[in-house]
Amino acid sequence: RKEVEQDPGPFNVPEGATVAFNCTYSNSASQSFFWYRQDCRKEPKLLMSVYSSGNEDGRFTAQLNRASQYISLLIRDSKLSDSATYLCVVSGNYGQNFVFGPGTRLSVLP
């Protein structure tokens, strides 16, 4: 079993749609959780950290369920510019050994 698994995708959605990505992790000792965004042929960039209480940043909402070892990302009112691959990332103590999921590709269609 992979340490971090994500929805296989791709997700093709119309502009304005709400889309949710799911991620599960196997290491119960994981301490930190993130969503990164990667545009085609570019480097990953941090989208948002995920906190135990859940957090929101504009149209983006992240949730963490430690008991189920599950992380989610919700994007509301999708824009064309949201088209990218979304990477779920977990790490242990001290921010070392970040483990990346394989990513879920999103295409927002006009």
Query: Least Å distance between CB 25 and another protein?
Result: 12
- CA-wise closest residue to 58 among 40, 73, 38: 73
Q: Is 103 in the site for another protein (CB under 8 A)?
A: yes
6 DSSP β-pair partners? 23
DSSP 58: T
Q: Is 107 in the site for another protein (CB under 8 A)?
A: no
17 versus 107: smaller Cβ distance to another protein:
107
Q: Is 44 in the site for another protein (CB under 8 A)?
A: yes
Q: Within 24-43, which residues bind another protein (CB under 8 A)?
A: 31-32, 34, 42-43
Q: Is 49 in the site for another protein (CB under 8 A)?
A: yes
Q: Is 55 in the site for another protein (CB under 8 A)?
A: no
Cα–Cα distance measured from residue 22 to residue 36, given in angstroms and rounded to the nearest whole number: 13
Q: Which distant-in-sequence residues (6+ apart) come within 8 Å of 47 by Cβ?
A: 34, 35, 36, 37, 60, 73, 86
Query: Which residues of the chain form contacts with another protein (CB under 8 A)?
Result: 4, 31-32, 34, 42-46, 49, 87, 91-103
